[in-house]
A and B are shown apart, each in its own frame.
Chain A
Amino acid sequence: MASTFEVQDISFSYEAIPAIRGLTLHIGEGDRVALLGANGSGKSTLLRILDALYFPSAGTVTFKGEALTEKHLQEEEFSLNFRRRVALVFQNPDVQLFNPTVFDEIAYGPLQLQWGKEDVIRRVDETLEFMSISHLRDRPPYRLSGGEKKRVALASVLVLDPEVLLLDEPTATLDPKSQSQVVDLIQQWKGTARTVITATHQLEIVEDIADRVFVLEAGTVIAEGTPAEILSNTDLLLRANLIHAHRHSHGGVVHSHPHLHGHSRHEHEH
């Protein structure tokens, strides 16, 4: 399979605090990948490195065979081409929504990438309709609800029709209906050439959004496999802090077992 990203032994620190340590992974064209990990495991940092917003202090990252370096990103042609093909949806939609209206927000990316004005208007209208947010067209983004902001943030990158979509906790803080809409959207891209890399710690959506899973801990990959392989490995999930030991009592006898959040009801043997 043709390579989209080749990440080779990279490291990255926030001043003196290491966030990524000797991380290596390969992501192919059309892959639907989940980056699983607890808070602080390096998922968001890795997405920013893949989006060429941060550059590793050691190791290499390539996109379609071309090195992602600060110098390379300063070249206008490469930068415009890369930003057109790779898009990131931030965890906090507020940082991504900074234009006066929803329409301007969605038009922002295409305008920066110097599309023709008629194309911009047509694509923005299509995207508004596709995301069912046409009624928000002239509203200021900072006055929207959390779910609406997330949809507008998604629309603002989908308008570019990117080959690679990087999603940072796309369903976090969403109500169940909005969560399922986002998951449905990602599922639509199954079997297409679009590569989707989703950082999440919500195990219940992993099988729906990914065919391959990388488990991250302390800035490095500790496991890789299919969703079924990873989700059935209780020891691994416990180690990565994705599930926890749940203690409770039955008839005065206290016992514990691994516990997964996200399901309203579960059963286990005693």
Chain B
Amino acid sequence: MSRHSFLESTLQGFTRAVAKALQSEHAASQPGLLQQLDPRVRVIGTFALVVSVILCRRLEAIAAILLVAIAIAVASRVSLAALAKRVWLVILGFTGVIALPALFITPGEPLFTSPALHLSISAQGVRTAVLLVLRVETAATLTTVLVLSTAWTHILKALRSLHLPAEIVTMLAMTHRYVFLLIETANQMFESRKSRTVGVLSGAERRRMTARTAGVLLSKSIELSQEVYLAMLSRGFRGEVRLLTDFRLKPRDYVGLTAFLFTGCLAVWMGR
């Protein structure tokens, strides 16, 4: 990788992160299935489906919930391409690594044996690995669809109205509020570095630079979090999320909640 490709691809990464956030805000403001429901119903419904995914033991039932999640995403105008890039491929990579040993260490009927490597893959091993990956993919898809179709402030208010402790809601609010500041700071650090870089950076130098940037950003993030919190306190923040929007349950919210709970219960019953 050349000096320019490393620095420029990092800078482009920061720009993409901001662009994705803007896309999320745009999706949340679009008219769609989830957007029409009260944020509390969306949070409870998503939570119910995630719990049902955890409780299901049959692949078919989890796959059915994944299809439901995809249908909700489409009806809520969430881009499937964004889901594939942000969730499905990333989860496949991370969970795949964790699930991989299960293929070989789970005892059962052998599907494939390699005498040279002294390894064999069992049918039960494949099932266990697929179950793990599918479970994580489905849960992540459900939560990502919720986040992409709901303004962050509404999620926080919904969590607070569902009695999540104010301290946790504050932490979530702070994380979201200064993440852009950190992206901007990191961007400036890399731009500054780019303007002073002569010659080609070696792999070791690139790793050192990345580690140094991460270290400085960590220190700055602590400082920023304190500053942002002081600015919130100064304007009257006392741990409660207060918005202009009032949450009021309408008949369609009851229908939506019933549909979520029914789907979750059905999946658990079928997947037991």
Pick the contact of A95 from B25, B231, B242 — CB < 8 Å? B231
Q: Does B224 contact A (CB under 8 A)?
A: yes
Interface residues in B, total, Cβ within 8 A? 27
Proximity string of chain B (19-51) to chain A, C-beta cutoff 8 Å, 1 when within and 0 when not: 000100100000000000000000000000000
Query: Is A117 touching B244 in the complex (CB atoms < 8 A)?
Result: yes
Complex CA distance for A87 and B236, rounded to whole angstroms: 10
In this complex, the member of A83, A100, A157 whose beta carbon has the largest number of chain B beta carbons within 10 angstroms is A100
Query: Is A53 touching B25 in the complex (CB atoms < 8 A)?
Result: no
Q: Does B235 contact A (CB under 8 A)?
A: yes
Report, as a range, how many residues of chain A touch the other chain: 20 to 34
Contacts of A20 in B (CB 8 A): none
Interface of A is mostly: helix
Query: Is B244 touching A121 in the complex (CB atoms < 8 A)?
Result: yes
Query: Is B181 touching A111 in the complex (CB atoms < 8 A)?
Result: no
Q: Does A123 contact B (CB under 8 A)?
A: no
Query: Is B227 touching A95 in the complex (CB atoms < 8 A)?
Result: yes
Query: Is A76 touching B234 in the complex (CB atoms < 8 A)?
Result: no
Complex CA distance for A95 and B220, rounded to whole angstroms: 12
Min C-beta distance of B181 to chain A, whole Å: 5
Contacts of B240 in A (CB 8 A): 112
In the complex where A92-B227, A94-B181 touch, is A53 in contact with B242 (Cβ < 8 A)? no
In the complex where A100-B151, A100-B153, A104-B153 touch, is A79 in contact with B238 (Cβ < 8 A)? yes
Query: Is A76 touching B238 in the complex (CB atoms < 8 A)?
Result: yes
Complex CA distance for A51 and B152, rounded to whole angstroms: 29
- Report B208-237 residues with CB < 8 Å from chain A CB: 224, 227-228, 230-237
Closest to B228 in A: A95
Contacts of B231 in A (CB 8 A): 90, 95-96, 98
Complex CA distance for A90 and B235, rounded to whole angstroms: 11
Query: Is A51 touching B153 in the complex (CB atoms < 8 A)?
Result: no
Min C-beta distance of B255 to chain A, whole Å: 27
Query: Is A111 touching B244 in the complex (CB atoms < 8 A)?
Result: yes
Query: Is A83 touching B180 in the complex (CB atoms < 8 A)?
Result: no
Contacts of A157 in B (CB 8 A): 235
- Report B135-161 residues with CB < 8 Å from chain A CB: 151-153
Pick the contact of A87 from B227, B235, B238 — CB < 8 Å? B235
Min C-beta distance of B103 to chain A, whole Å: 45
Query: Is B234 touching A51 in the complex (CB atoms < 8 A)?
Result: yes
Contacts of B193 in A (CB 8 A): none
Interface of B is mostly: helix
Q: Does A142 contact B (CB under 8 A)?
A: yes
Complex CA distance for A140 and B18, rounded to whole angstroms: 11
Closest to A114 in B: B242
Q: Does A80 contact B (CB under 8 A)?
A: yes
Closest to B246 in A: A117
Complex CA distance for A80 and B240, rounded to whole angstroms: 13
- Report A167-207 residues with CB < 8 Å from chain B CB: none
Query: Is A80 touching B244 in the complex (CB atoms < 8 A)?
Result: no
In this complex, the member of A51, A84, A88, A98 whose beta carbon has the largest number of chain B beta carbons within 10 angstroms is A98
Query: Is B180 touching A142 in the complex (CB atoms < 8 A)?
Result: yes
Query: Is B235 touching A120 in the complex (CB atoms < 8 A)?
Result: no
In the complex where A98-B178, A142-B181, A142-B184 touch, is A111 in contact with B234 (Cβ < 8 A)? no
Query: Is A84 touching B151 in the complex (CB atoms < 8 A)?
Result: no
Query: Is B227 touching A90 in the complex (CB atoms < 8 A)?
Result: yes
Complex CA distance for A117 and B238, rounded to whole angstroms: 18
Complex CA distance for A88 and B240, rounded to whole angstroms: 21
Q: Does B207 contact A (CB under 8 A)?
A: no
Q: Does A109 contact B (CB under 8 A)?
A: yes
Query: Is A100 touching B25 in the complex (CB atoms < 8 A)?
Result: yes
Contacts of A96 in B (CB 8 A): 231
Min C-beta distance of B175 to chain A, whole Å: 11
Query: Is A112 touching B227 in the complex (CB atoms < 8 A)?
Result: no
Complex CA distance for A182 and B181, rounded to whole angstroms: 24
In the complex where A140-B25, A142-B180 touch, is A112 in contact with B230 (Cβ < 8 A)? no
Q: Does A5 contact B (CB under 8 A)?
A: no
Q: Does B198 contact A (CB under 8 A)?
A: no
Contacts of A104 in B (CB 8 A): 153, 244
Min C-beta distance of A157 to chain B, whole Å: 7
Contacts of A140 in B (CB 8 A): 22, 25
- Report B176-191 residues with CB < 8 Å from chain A CB: 177-178, 180-181, 184
Can you name 18 A-B pairs with beta carbons within 8 Å?
Answer: A51-B234, A53-B230, A53-B233, A83-B235, A90-B230, A92-B227, A94-B184, A95-B231, A98-B178, A98-B232, A100-B153, A104-B153, A109-B236, A112-B235, A112-B236, A142-B180, A156-B235, A157-B235
Beyond A87-B235, A111-B242, 7 additional contacts (C-beta under 8 Å) are A48-B230, A83-B234, A95-B224, A96-B231, A99-B153, A99-B177, A109-B236
